[in-house]
Structure 1
Amino acid sequence: MADTTPQSDSTTVLFQLESFDTAAPVNPADEELAKRRFMTLMVKADRSSHGNTGLVLQAHNTSNERFAVKVLADNTLMRALGTNTPSRTADESAMHLANTAALFEEYRNLCRVSHLRGFPHVYGYGTCQGEPLILMEWIEGTSLDKAASMLPHDGEGVTCAAAASVGCAVLGTLLSTQNLETPLVHRDLSPANIMFRTNELGIDEQVQALAFKPCLVDMGSSVPALGSDTLTQRADIWRYATPAYAAPEMLTRDIPNIAELRRSPSVDVYAIASILYELYSGHTPFRAARHQAHEVSSYYLLKTQNEPEPLVAHKGDDQAFADLIMSCLVTDQASRPSEREFYEGLLAFAPDLGESAVSTPGLSNQPINIDAGAHLKVDVAGDRARALLEQARRDAMTRRRFIIGGVAAAVVGLGAIGAATHGFGIPDYLDGIRSSLDDYTWDQLQEISLKIKAAKSNAEARKIAKRYHLLDDGGHIPYPCTKRVTLTNGLEVGAQLVGIRHDELLDGTGKAGLTFMFDAGIAERDAAAQPLSAGWADCELREWLDSDGLKLLPNELRALIKSVKKISNNVGAARSASCLSELPATLWLPAMVELCGNQPPESFTEDFHYLADIYNGEGREYQLFRELKVSPYTTNETLVRQWKGKDACWWERTASPDTSESEGTLYMNRVGYDGDVFSYATLASKPDKRTCVIPGFCI
């Protein structure tokens, strides 16, 4: 579907669609948004790959959102792409109609699995210059064909663990379709049709962990595993598979019950076993070249009149693996292991990855990521594709088809999803992805935070945050990036995302996924109720934050906030960093260093170099403020905050060690009206100017 190998300059051609039928319903009020998104596409002519029924091209819309467009290989659109496409003969026209039917069948099957993580998302079916096309997700990734050389090797082939891990990933994806009303048989599995997604985890990281993110592409040969009839059969299109990996029954039409045999998941078992055989040994089971079918007169006879070459184990411990692979390559379909038996057999040879291990799909205690609502709706879209094919000769209108310059009929279903997507995919919306922070619920943000927390590395965490639009393409926090919050006192403030995997959770389980700070005051208070000769730990404001302050937050947010560890000067007057200690915090005030970063000792006068150790020891700068280049030496417009609509000073939790010493009472630092993070310290119990409270929190 997509390979991230650099490409040469391309020819870009405008595709203006005459009609487009969405894979999920769209609110009639939002049709114009959907038309702009899907019906005007700039297609790159050279970013293409051959599929079973046609070509896959990269395209983008006016919002620079990328798609994959699948068209027929004999499509007259190829002329627009600079190919020499002669006029069709009568026989070729009949075949083109049959190929159109097959493309509808592929669309129907894509709709069935579009919401499953191991398959491409599909957006819809349309026409351009009267020719059919499917609009799909453009997959960022690397094919197994290209990734094979990166896998750990043992002699001519990859290690047993590597081959088994690939097999488990692919079989797990196929088994996930068993949660559908009708499971799916791919029927053309090959190293070129197995992609590893790299948008969340790079291929090198997947290879290192032997934990893969597969996406099965080119569904042109796929069929539902149940039932006795298909659109493809009625249209008299008989799809074959890649000969080097295909089961014998996929390579002939001349044996009894062939249609039933070709609809069995055992077809995919044979193909996966052939792929793993090649990975492990360095050659295919019958030493048949992948792309040179003309050198073999009949692959069916080759595979039925000969036994595959025995798979030689690299070492004694691998013999059971070799035997398992060979058991899947027998001619008699009924004698092969089932998909689940093959999967469970391979698990014994895949590395134990703990919580990140490939789980057995379909079991009640191992749920897979399927949105039940999306399942029902894509089944409706798939059934409608069947009706569309039957009306193809008449070019009939459909309930969800957009016609340029026309008016669409009424729709039912997801309603406001069209508006909520704001320029990204409806299937993305079904996967819980929104266009901005404010579009998420707090429960959804907690789920994202947990995914970020569970990431194996900061790089993986950033990829997750990018996927959910919490970081931009450059890895930066969008500014402003806020979610509106109505407090129980009636004030409305913004919760501003300031950090990703920054704060240590109090329970010791790692770092909180997301950290927020409000962008305006939630209260106006003194830091201490009475004069103190102590530090932040004894301030009344700290206790207020975790009690009455927390009660100002709406229930749906308050219930999700996680306690974290915060380091503070809990002594007050001090001349070394020994005054610093750790305290639990739910709502907390930022330290100076968390806003402006470290300050070198030389930035203080000679007798006060020790201040740097104390101030810098209270934490580290949050990502947002680092990207905003907040300075400790000047005013900062981006830190100007308000209390009830007027610019205000706001508290830091950073005590002032030197002024507290000279006065014999506690002085606290704060951010000034002008955003100066090192404004003159003021008495905690009687500040010289009214000072508001702007806390942060983690979920």
Structure 2
Amino acid sequence: MRLFRTGCGTKAKREVDEEDSKGEEEAMFCTKCGSEIAEGSAFCRNCGAPTGAQASAANAAAGAPQPTAGAGSPLPKKSGARKGVIAVVAVAVVLVLVAGFATNWFGLAGAQSEEAVEAPAASQDLSDTGSSAQDDAGAAESQNEGAQGEGAASEQDGDAQVAASADAAASVVSAKPTVEAYTWDELSQISTEIGAAADEAAAIEVAKRYNLCTPEGELDGTQLKTVTLGDGTQATAQIIGFAHDDKADGGKAGITFALRNCLYVVSMNFDITNAGGWEASGIRGSLDADKAIWFPEDLLKVVVPVKKMTNNAGKTESVEDVTETIDEFWLPSSVEVWGEYGGDPATISPEDRIERDIQSAQGAQYKLFSDLADAYKQDASVSPNSSTIRFAEGGQATWWLRDPKSNTDSSFSCVSDDGLYVYEDGAASTKGLAPCFCI
């Protein structure tokens, strides 16, 4: 906005008028009193002062300054208009200042929150766009690497949590004082831990931790668990081995049990024959067909099928006739109960040597029977047959083993009712059925 003096001549007046009022008709005013002068007049009609070029020439000749309006003189009409414009502009400036303070245009109303303030794109410094872009890219890359690092750390934490959960799951069963105190499901979890042990010694250490054997790591026949049979009667199962049997799907079954109570008294086969051995026997078929009738559901849920080696030919002279079957419930073989034949091989007949080799190929003695045999050797008061006695129909009973006698075509091995020895009998005779199983 340009400021001007009221005492200027017509030319100055015209320049001001052209700036302050576009399109407004030009007028002349007295430089002394401010009264309007008619165009072409040489003197002011009001005060008689000379106008136009004469006044300018007189003032220039005298070297005097141009006169200004006195304090008591009336203001020129045009000056009043200019002051009005100035006042309006001043008001506008005040309003702008007030609005600026109120809206923080000048940064004086206090800092706003980061959420409320967003720098406009025009405010960014474009003088170093390339450098800024590189910095932004670097920051983004750093942020991405940080996110990846956090993701990797999170994944590692997740793996650690999974590993911790797996360890916790492996030890989820609390140790109890007796086998009887565990549920079948708990015993199954312990069995998995035993089966995963590196070797037999490590498996025994796990069993000791859960009180599934003596503190010395032995089985003495007191590791018992009650089984409610399908007919409502109570039977007793005893642990006979740890990590002994091979599971059908690989690995070791952690715990092997044997029933001390016979399910019933039955023939091995309807006919007096051992042809087909254990694999083709009537008892094997009956156990598989009737297992859901005889055994409780909570036990059936944790039973695992295992591999059993047996002479499945009957009468034979070849060890190659010892083949594998997959069973959930089975009878032990004579070598699994009594162990291998003793004596000097040089003193036995060729026929007996063949039978011994076939028998030895049908498994290995379970820990319970070997531990009791060893205990008996050290202490004659220990009953070596306490773990081999079976009960049926209210008393002790002879009971079937699964291996046929290889030197006959009609007999299978069995255990006497006092549990003292193995003998053979025709397949059609009746004996107690006391199966084993793994969990």
TM class, shorter-length: 0.5 to 0.7
| Counterpart residue number, 1:170 | none
Give SS of 1:447's match. helix
| Counterpart residue number, 2:327 | 585
Q: Distance in 1 between matches of 2:391 and 2:336?
A: 20
Percent sequence identity is: 30
Quote how far apart the aligned CAs of 1:366 are. Answer: 6.3
Q: Distance in 2 between matches of 1:554 and 1:345?
A: 45
- Does 2:437 align with 1:697? yes
Q: Distance in 2 between matches of 1:625 and 1:570?
A: 24
Equivalent residue runs for 1:588-599 within 5 Å? 588-599=330-341
Q: Distance in 1 between matches of 2:308 and 2:325?
A: 5
Give SS of 2:398's match. strand
Give SS of 1:493's match. strand
Which of residues 649, 667, 670 is equivalent to 2:398? 649
Quote how far apart the aligned CAs of 1:466 are. Answer: 1.0
Is the contact between residue 550 and residue 587 of structure 1 (CA under 8 Å) also seen in structure 2? no
Q: Distance in 1 between matches of 2:298 and 2:389?
A: 28
Q: Distance in 2 between matches of 1:643 and 1:603?
A: 39
Structure 1 residues 505 and 575, CA gap change in structure 2 (3 angstroms): same
Quote how far apart the aligned CAs of 1:370 are. Answer: 6.0
What CA RMSD, in Å, does the superposition of the two structures yield over aligned residues? 3.1
Greater Rg, structure 1 or structure 2?
2
| Counterpart residue number, 2:407 | 658
Q: Distance in 1 between matches of 2:264 and 2:249?
A: 29
Is the contact between residue 491 and residue 522 of structure 1 (CA under 8 Å) also seen in structure 2? no
Q: Deviations over 1:523-553 (max 9, x none)?
A: 1110012233432221111111111145300
Give SS of 1:506's match. coil
| Counterpart residue number, 2:259 | 518
Structure 1 residues 530 and 550, CA gap change in structure 2 (3 angstroms): farther
Is the contact between residue 515 and residue 697 of structure 1 (CA under 8 Å) also seen in structure 2? yes
| Counterpart residue number, 1:330 | none
- Does 2:212 align with 1:470? yes
Q: Distance in 2 between matches of 1:558 and 1:656?
A: 31
Quote how far apart the aligned CAs of 1:618 are. Answer: 0.2
Which of residues 408, 416, 421 is equivalent to 1:672? 416
Is the contact between residue 213 and residue 223 of structure 2 (CA under 8 Å) also seen in structure 1? no
Is the contact between residue 470 and residue 478 of structure 1 (CA under 8 Å) also seen in structure 2? no
Q: Distance in 2 between matches of 1:637 and 1:479?
A: 7
Which of residues 683, 686, 695 is equivalent to 2:426? 683
| Counterpart residue number, 1:434 | 176
Give SS of 2:276's match. coil
Structure 1 residues 581 and 370, CA gap change in structure 2 (3 angstroms): closer
Query: 1:682 is aligned with what amino acid?
Result: D
| Counterpart residue number, 1:663 | none
Query: 1:367 is aligned with what amino acid?
Result: S
Structure 1 residues 518 and 431, CA gap change in structure 2 (3 angstroms): closer
Unaligned runs of 5+ in 1: 1-336, 348-357, 372-427, 661-665
Give SS of 1:464's match. helix
Q: Distance in 1 between matches of 2:318 and 2:414?
A: 21
Q: Distance in 1 between matches of 2:403 and 2:348?
A: 16
Q: Deviations over 1:359-392 (max 9, x none)?
A: 73446x9636669xxxxxxxxxxxxxxxxxxxxx
Q: Distance in 1 between matches of 2:166 and 2:311?
A: 47
Which of residues 432, 451, 460 is equivalent to 2:202? 460
Q: Distance in 1 between matches of 2:421 and 2:405?
A: 13
Q: Distance in 1 between matches of 2:287 and 2:347?
A: 32
Give SS of 2:247's match. coil
Equivalent residue runs for 1:557-636 within 5 Å? 557-600=299-342, 601=345, 604-629=348-373, 636=385
| Counterpart residue number, 2:70 | none
Q: Deviations over 1:399-452 (max 9, x none)?
A: xxxxxxxxxxxxxxxxxxxxxxxxxxxxx9x85211110000000001101111
Q: Distance in 2 between matches of 1:656 and 1:587?
A: 21
Give SS of 1:525's match. strand
Q: Deviations over 1:86-110 (max 9, x none)?
A: xxxxxxxxxxxxxxxxxxxxxxxxx
Q: Distance in 1 between matches of 2:154 and 2:161?
A: 16
| Counterpart residue number, 1:528 | 269
| Counterpart residue number, 1:492 | 234
Q: Deviations over 1:592-644 (max 9, x none)?
A: 0000111144685454221110111100000111101189xx98344122103
Which of residues 165, 168, 184 is equivalent to 1:367? 165
Which of residues 519, 522, 537 is equivalent to 2:279? 537
Structure 1 residues 483 and 635, CA gap change in structure 2 (3 angstroms): closer
With a CA cutoff of 8 Å and minimum separation of 6, indicate the structure with the bigger relative contact order.
2
Q: Distance in 2 between matches of 1:697 and 1:431?
A: 21
Structure 1 residues 492 and 598, CA gap change in structure 2 (3 angstroms): same
Q: Distance in 1 between matches of 2:334 and 2:405?
A: 11
Q: Distance in 2 between matches of 1:648 and 1:495?
A: 16
Give SS of 2:303's match. coil
Is the contact between residue 220 and residue 372 of structure 2 (CA under 8 Å) also seen in structure 1? no
Structure 1 residues 457 and 658, CA gap change in structure 2 (3 angstroms): closer
Equivalent residue runs for 1:278-293 within 5 Å? none
Alignment: residue pair count:
281
Q: Distance in 2 between matches of 1:646 and 1:516?
A: 21
Q: Distance in 2 between matches of 1:458 and 1:345?
A: 39
Structure 1 residues 369 and 482, CA gap change in structure 2 (3 angstroms): same
Query: 1:522 is aligned with what amino acid?
Result: L
Give SS of 2:391's match. strand
Quote how far apart the aligned CAs of 1:579 are. Answer: 1.8
Structure 1 residues 684 and 604, CA gap change in structure 2 (3 angstroms): farther
Q: Distance in 2 between matches of 1:645 and 1:603?
A: 43
Q: Distance in 2 between matches of 1:500 and 1:514?
A: 5
**TM-score between the two structures when normalised by the length of structure 1:** 0.37
Query: 2:295 is aligned with what amino acid?
Result: L
| Counterpart residue number, 1:18 | none
Quote how far apart the aligned CAs of 1:562 are. Answer: 0.6
